[in-house]
Structure 1
Amino acid sequence: MNGDPTDRSEGNAGKVPPLPPLRDVIARHGLSANRALGQNFLFDLNLTGRIARAAAPLDAGTVIEIGPGPGGLTRALLDHGAGAVIVIERDRRFLPVLAEISAAYPGRLQVIEGDALKVDAAKLGSAPRRIVANLPYNVATPLLLGWLDAGTAFTSLTLMFQKEVAERLLARPKTKDYGRLTIAAQWRADVKRLFDIPPRAFTPPPKVTSTVVQLIPRAEPLFAADATMLERVTAAAFGQRRKMLRQSLRQVSPQADEVLVATGIAPTARGEELSIEQFCALARAFKAEGPTGPRAGL
């Protein structure tokens, strides 16, 4: 996603004297948001600046941005000291706008035309790598999971999600938002809520509030576990949330009852009641049993 509120943002436009206000750029190029690509533009320099500051320090290594659109956040990253920014944009309409920004900041901005889901961001630029992005809602989760799989290839991930997704990333056991995405994220990274951004801040305004979240990848996962097995266990446990684990985990192993008892977990418990540590213990136990099970998307 990309984003925008009122013209008050352009009171700070003196920070980028070579470039005209974003609204003027949009009008000149005849650009509009493509809902199919999850685009919403954020022009408010107060908000884009706040995101850039949250991701600091930006002067060393590489900052990677996904879906920059007209470049509101891109400008903020450069204005706040990013020495090397790489942006990945699949919508060709924005390439001329991004080229203008690149010319205004010689040698500091590289534009890659392509689908971020097909680009290995862990190999872009030099370390330390930071991803800072107002993510398209429709690809936010698969992008995040791919980056988390890369481990410490990234120093930090400062990302905007729709609030519903952010709540799942930040959830605790025994809450409605706690689930597979929670465990996948918190197992690999420290997750922190930064701030919310209301729908009116964007053009066009989405129907939901957005939340900026920062994830700091862990040097090692929170608890020992095989990643594939942990994914299988959580997929089964949360596939039908109201089922007892003795039933839901049978798709992982017919010995589910025995494994649960051996790990000190009540077979009558449900997935939302277990801590990440307990899920990791189950993953280790099932791995030792040699079970197989389905792998589904989050």
Structure 2
Amino acid sequence: MKHIARKRFGQHFLTDSAIIEAIVREIAPVPGDAMVEIGPGLAALTQPLVERLGQLTVVELDRDLAARLRAHPQLQVVESDVLKVDFSALARDRFPGQRLRIVGNLPYNISTPILFHLLEHVEVVQDQHFMLQKEVIDRMVASPATADYSRLSVMLQWRYAMEDVLFVPPESFDPPPRVDSAVVRMVPLANPPAIDVARFSEMVQVAFSQRRKILRHTLGRWLEQRGADVPFDLQRRAEEVPVHEYVALSLAT
């Protein structure tokens, strides 16, 4: 029976074989990898991956698709909302002594929450390859003083090295999304700064809360409330401050 894409799950199924091959080349799976695929859908990417890996763990919310996937002897299916999956426990229980390689065509309607959820489990991750809306990846990899540089840029760049590795047009999917897509590679930094992540997140959120305003009106007040007296140029907008300066400010407060 043909599976009808469900809007509530943000389903767009990859059908372009050349794009699928290109994604697999970028991931470069090898037997023994502790790989987890988020949202395998109709297994367009799953099948070439498992052929190279021997076995693969998949996370699928759609119960009809999960039932289909369970029929595949080389797949271990986690039927769950990905935002509720404890990836640290998954790594410990299924892949002891290994770090996860996480891949997937993420549902665009919740892609940012998924990225932040995975950030909480970054200690058990080797790398991540995700298909996302091109606009989101542009923000993830953006440089300071550009229109795309945002809270998302800062919150991910302090912890990952990232690059846009592949453009994917709408016609590569069924049904075609109304946006361009791309594939991003995310590799956790080997020696990240030891920051208080909750405080850092709050600080960055405050800084970008009114991005057109000078930071004196937003971040300046936040620092004053905490009695922080540190040298930092507040006569800039949030988008003008490099990631390393936000990290240094977080460490100093």
Structure 2 CA distance for aligned equivalents of residues 258 and 156 of structure 1: 36
Task: Say whether 1:64 aligns with 2:64.
Answer: no
Counterpart for residue 163 of structure 2: 192
Question: Hey, what does 1:7 align to over in structure 2?
Answer: none
CA contact (8 A) 1:129 1:153 kept: yes
- TM normalised by structure 1 equals 0.78
Q: Which residue of 1 aligns with 2:240?
A: 273
Q: Report the identity percentage.
A: 38
Q: CA deviation at 1:258?
A: 6.7
Aligned to 1:248: 218
Name the CA distance, whole Å, in 2 between partners of 1:83 and 1:170: 33
The RMSD of aligned alpha carbons is 1.8
TM-score where L is the length of structure 2 = 0.91
Q: Is 1:284 matched with 2:251? A: yes
Q: Does 1:51 align with 2:23?
A: yes
Secondary structure of the 2:53 match is coil
Shift of 1:224: 4.3
Q: How far is 1:34 from its partner? A: 0.7
Check conservation: 2:165, 2:185, Cα contact below 8 A.
yes
1:230-264 C-alpha deviation (Å, 9 max, x unpaired)? 111111110000111111114523268973xx32x
- Counterpart for residue 226 of structure 1: 196
Q: Provide the secondary structure at the position in 1 that maps to 2:14.
A: coil
Per-residue CA deviations over 1:201-250 (Å, capped at 9, x if unaligned) read: 111100100010000012332x4432112111111110000111111114
The answer for the alignment partner of 2:76 in structure 1 is 110
Q: Aligned partners of 1:72, 1:61: CA distance in 2, in Å?
A: 19
AA in 2 matched with 1:236:
V
Q: How many residues align?
A: 248
Structure 1 spans left out of the alignment, 5+ residues: 1-28, 287-298
Counterpart Cα distance in 2 of 1:251 and 1:74? 49
- The structure that is strand-richer by fraction is 2
Q: Which has the larger displacement, 187-196 or 48-57?
A: 48-57
* Per-residue Cα deviation, 1:129-165 (whole angstroms, up to 9, x for no partner): 1111000011211111221222230111000110111
- Counterparts of 1:5-16 in structure 2, within 5 Å, are none
Q: 1:248 to 1:57 in 2, by over 3 A?
A: same
Off by >3 Å, runs of 4+ in structure 1:
255-259
- Mapped to 2, the partners of 1:258 and 1:98 lie a distance apart of 54
Structure 1 position 133 matched with structure 2 position 130: no
The SS at the match of 1:252 is helix
Runs of 5+ consecutive residues of structure 2 not aligned to the other structure:
none
Counterpart residue number, 1:22 = none
